[in-house]
Structure formats: structure tokens, C-alpha cells
A and B are shown apart, each in its own frame.
Chain A
Amino acid sequence: MKKTLLIIGGISTIVILFAIWLYLLLFGTPKPVADVFTNFGLFGNRSEPIEELPLPALPTEEIVDVATDKLRQLTVRPVIGFQEYAMSTTTPRRILYAESGTGHIFQINLETGEETRLSNTTVQNAQSASFSPRLGYVAIRSGYQNLNEVQLVELDDSGSGQATTLKARVSDFSFSADNELLYSELTTSGSNGIALNPKTKATRTVFTLPFQAATIIWSRDGITPHYVYPKASSKLYGYLYAIKNGVIVRQPAAGLGLMGSGNPEYISYTTVPLEEPISFIYNLSTDQTEISPILFEPNKCAFGTKTVTHLFCGYALTAYGYNFPDDWYKGTRTFADRIWMINLSDTTARQLVDPLRTVGRELDVIGIQVSSDEKMLYFLNKNDTTLWQYEI
């Protein structure tokens, strides 16, 4: 090879390398790692730039899924009280609920799923609520400490809601079938059951209890008596009483940790006699008591609204132990409940749904309510106090 050709080749190589160095110097600025990572294109990133699509306009009202599954979560907000309203067969069924902490009232149309806020009256530290069976009033307890008060909020069209603070030292409250607010008021020697007309604010004494630590299962239908028992503890004895027309009548149910309630024909109650709680069904007409297949706890169970032999309960297939219900009330114990329907006449139970299996969630059922046509169940999940619905 001639020497000239070698020199020309060498100079050409140097020029080419210089050109490459110059190109890299001017245009080869390193990109962020994220831009070049996994970009295996031969000539760099040739993909088209991503165009941002315009987001669809959000509806002014939230939409709740009320159709997909039989078991549905209705709220993501924590709820302290709710009530279903079905004005007529032609108007859509709807549910009103009060938000924990704020006391704001929301409404969900159970056919369209539209959710709207009805009242923006804030009740600070709202802790529990009860709605009147005829639309119009909601009683809300504020404060989670022992110094607390109950406010009666009148729902109106403006959404502002008129709130009146009850003067009484209320320990428990609920609305009656007659739209009266029933509450218990502590006295020096026990407690009084009071009925308050929410419109006139007039009160009357419904019953007088000779003790204070009482759990009252208020009658919601006006037919069933109020049931009362000393607050349950697995370490203390309890007794069940029915109160009708102001008369306290002892029921044949007693024992450690007693809890109980009933409808016009049956009483369900639970005691903790040994290491496990046991529930019983007492037939008022036959005076017979049978062992219940499902554990009864008044917060976890509700009697049928159309069929007197139906009882709906949240119940977990697990050992409850001798500290129940104390540990559950404290929140140191939770349950992954299934929903059951108990036939009180033949003491059989049928599982309606296992939420863990169907929606993958552990639901600790409280505040269960049955719709007026007995086609829906509503309840709260104690774990996060969200509102749920089950279509029977």
C-alpha cells in the first residue's frame, strides 16, 4: 500500500472522529435516565409525543354504584346513623345518612345512585345519629367524651337545617314509629325514658328505670315493647326486661353477659355461661326456649319487618371467647362477619352472603336495619363505619 493512501486514510479517520466528537459535544447532551431507560430504538426515541386527553367533566353529584352486586358499599365516608325512606311505590327508594365527625346529612337515591348533601349544618365531633321514620328530623350526639350533647336537626329544603340542643343529659336516643324522639335521661336513682315531640318540643315520661347502666332497645314499630337490660359484661349478671305502657316486666332471660331483644312473638338473647357465649330463642306464645344456631347481639341483628319469624344477623364462624362482648365493645376485637337469616320458628340459619368471599372485605357488622319491604339490609362496617347495602 502506498504511503500517501495511508496518510489520507488516517487523516480521514481523524476528521470523522473529530466530527463525531463535535456532534456529541453540541447535540449529545445526556438525557435523564427516565427518558432513555428501556428506549431501545436504534435512533433514539421515535415514539409520538403523548397527547393529554381532556378529562370528562365531573358530575355535580356523586354517583354510587347501586346495581352491580347484591352486596354494595354505599359510602366511603364514615357514617354514624342512617335511615331508608320509601315514600311510595312510584318514588325511588333513598337512604339518608349522617357523616361521622361533621354531622352533615347526605342522601343517596337507591335507583340512580345520585348522592346529594341535604344539610351542611356542622355538628362538631358528631358521634351517633338517629333519623325519624318520617322524613324531617335527625338527632345527633356530639362529642365522644362524657361531656356531650344531643342536637335535634330539622331538615328543610334550604339545606341549612335548624339545630336545637336538648337540655337533658341524654344517655341514649332513638326515634319511635310515631316520629317522637325517645331518649333516656339519667337521674339520681336511675334513668327515665322520655318521649319528645320534635315539632312542639313537648316531653312526656314513658318509663322510669331504677338503674342507670341500661341498654335500651327502643321499639321502632310501636308494637314491640322496649327491651332493657343492664349493660352487658361477661363478668356481670344481666336480666332482660320488657317495657310496655310504662310497666317493666321481667322476661325469662338472665345470665352473665346477657344481651337481648325481641319482636311481638320471639325474644332472642345471649349469655356467656362458660367459655363461649350461647344464644337462645324464646317463643313468647309457646313459652319454649331453643338454642339459636347464630350468636345474637342486638347491634349485629335485626328482626324482619314483614315476617315475624325472620332474624337477620352478622355472625362470624369463629370462637367468640369468654370476654365477648366486652372486647368487641372496646374495639380490641373485630370479626369478619357473614350475613345470615335465621328462621325463628324452626331455629335454622341460612347464610346469605360471605363478604370476604364476594367482595374481599372483612365486614364487622353493626347497626343492621331491614327495609320496610324486607328486600334490603343496611348496615355499617365497624372497622371504618362505612355504610353497606345487601339485596336479599
Chain B
Amino acid sequence: MVSIYFSGLGVINSTQAQFSSTITGEAVSISVSPQYPNPNETVTATLDDYAIDATGAVITWLQNGVALPNTQNIRSITLRAPGAGEIIEITARLQFTNKPSLEANVSITPVYVDVIVEPLTYTPIFYQGRALPVHGSLVNLTALIHNRTGLVNPAGFTYNWQLNSKSVYGGPRTGNNRAQITVPFGRSSIVTLSVTDNTGKLLVRRLISVPSVEVDLEFYEVSTLYGLSQRALLDTVTIVGNSSTFRAVPYNLDNRAVLRNLFTEWEINGLRTSTTDTDPFEISLKRQSAGDATIGFKVRNLTELLQGDEQSFRVEF
């Protein structure tokens, strides 16, 4: 069983952890949901005995050999997964009056397997958030396995990365906990990571949603003395002094385009203007009379034409 739950904006996250099932007796088993739980996560264990006639059986649940209270004749129990690297054994015992007892076992050994998503797109240094992927940009993925004491050396595991069900590197690679993908078309993509240990046993599977957003252009006023304002311009700004400088910041533009293959253009009242500034993202406006004007800016990645944005704001002077 694979448990998928939705969290926010269509982002899918699935958590799964290692378990191995040992069935004692006939076709009786325990299914665990989520199949690969995180440490300390709430887990539901359900008895599957549909292959046999269990009429009249007394069901007893045990954790590490100790009977769990208030669980007799319950077909599904909820418990807390142990901490990272710890093991618990769950047993479901079926006792019959007219035939031998049956047992099903499952062991749960949760580990933290985190997948860090690092889009290689532009954000300014003052921005404290993470850059977001846009179509055609690169994204670095790093899998980190943790036990109780810290990070586990990735060399002892084999990683199989898939993007939208297609293998990223053609198959699993031992010791390589990093992957790089190019963001495909669509609002989001699903990256699947399977980690197996050196015995070939599946340790964990993770499903990660990688969103694809648009380039987001924002404007900021630049003070000659005090530097960049921390507040983005909204609709209208009033020039108080004789001149003002404004900076356009193209959030999430492909990093490779920022240094080359970039088209930028400033407009004043719809007319293209050439700026004398050496920085194509800044414009300085000098007040010569009273009135207002619309200042526009366009940016586009000439390699990936879908990467671009144009926005404008009004200045009153």
C-alpha cells in the first residue's frame, strides 16, 4: 500500500519507510499505512486475513512481544512509529478454538530521507526565501538519510531517481544521492526516489512534487545613500526629490540567462528608452516637470522564450 496525501497547492508528498513482513501460518498479513513512515509518525496497522475463514478468531495485537492493551479483536490499530533508526515489531495473533493459532508480523524501521530541492534560478541576495523552478531551468536534488546520530554516509546506498516516471540516469546509481533535472512543461512534476541498501532491500521511496512557476518581476526603489528599499513598489510611487532610481528584480529567472542571452527593455509611457546605466535592471528618472508616467520593464530569456515577464508601475512627480 502506498499512501499519498495532498498538502497545499496540489503538492503531493508521500512518506514511506522500510518494513519487512513475515507471515507465520497461512495467508495472514499486516499492512502498514503509510507504508514507509517517518520517525515518530502515526502509523496504522491493519490485519489482512481475507484469504482464510477467521470466523470466531480472537485477535490480539503485540508490540515487541508485549500485548497492546485495549486492542483485542480490533482489526486495525494506530501506533506511533519509533525514532530514527529504531525498530518495532508488530504482531497480530489469531487464536481459534478449533485449529492452531496464526500470526502475522511486521517490523518497522523508520529513517528520515529528506529530498532537498534547490532550483538554479535567480533571487537577489537580500531575498530570504528559496528560488523556485521555471520551465527549462535546472533543479538540483539532494537526498539526505538520517539516523539517530546524524547524517548517514550516502555511499552505502543505491539511489534511483525518476522524473515523471522516467529514469533520470537510466537506472539506479550507487552512492549518488544527488540528481539534476531540467524542469519539463506543466505546473508541476513528480520526482520519485527509491533508495535500496547494499543488500538490495528497498529502504524507502519518496514522491516529491517539483512545481513550475513563472518569472516574477518586482520593482524596488534605490536610494543613493541608503541602498535598496525592502518594500517592493506596488502600483504608484511618488518621486519626492529631483530624481529617483528604480531596480527591476526578475525572481526565478534561469541563472544561466542572467549572465547571457537576456533581453531587457525599459519603457516610459510605452516608448522604449535607452538607459545610460551600466546595469540593465536599473533606471534613473529625473524630474523635469510635474505629472505622471508609466514605467515598464521587459525581461526575457532568449534561450527559453517562455521564461520572461513584463510589468509596469506609475510614477507621480
Contacts and interface: CB of A to CB of B under 8 A. Distances in A.
Give the interface size class of chain B. 35 or more
A70 interface: no
Nearest to B212: A235
B68 interface: no
Given A232-B130, A256-B8, A127 B227 contact: yes
A250 B84 contact: yes
Interface in A248-273: 248-250, 252, 254-257, 272-273
Contact of A215 (B128, B140, B150, B220): B128
Contacts of B315: none
Contacts of B115: 237
B150 A234 contact: no
A113 interface: no
Nearest to B210: A236
A235 B9 contact: yes
Given A215-B128, A230-B130, A236-B117, A100 B227 contact: yes
B127 A330 contact: yes
Interface in A342-392: 382-383, 385
B39 A252 contact: yes
A385 B142 contact: no
Contact of B151 (A143, A248, A287): A248
A274 B6 CA distance: 9
Contacts of A382: 230-231
Contacts of A100: 226-227
A231 B130 contact: yes
Q: Is the interface of B mostly helix, strand, loop or mixed?
A: strand
Interface string B113-137: 0111110000011111111100000
A274 B226 CA distance: 38
Contacts of B227: 100-101, 125-127, 144
Contact of A235 (B38, B39, B132, B225): B132
Given A232-B130, A256-B8, A331 B218 contact: yes
Contacts of A385: 230
A145 B225 contact: no
Contacts of A326: 129
B276 interface: no
A196 B225 CA distance: 30
Nearest to B145: A250
A331 B211 contact: no
Nearest to A334: B231
B27 interface: no
B228 interface: yes
A148 interface: yes
A11 interface: no
B8 A213 contact: no
29 contacts: A99-B226, A101-B223, A128-B126, A144-B126, A144-B228, A145-B125, A215-B128, A230-B117, A231-B129, A236-B117, A237-B13, A237-B114, A237-B117, A237-B208, A239-B116, A247-B150, A248-B151, A249-B149, A249-B150, A254-B114, A255-B7, A256-B11, A273-B7, A322-B8, A322-B9, A325-B129, A329-B127, A331-B218, A331-B229
Interface of B: 7-9, 11, 13, 38-40, 84, 112, 114-118, 124-132, 140, 142, 144, 146, 149-151, 208, 211, 213, 216, 218, 220, 223, 225-232, 234, 251
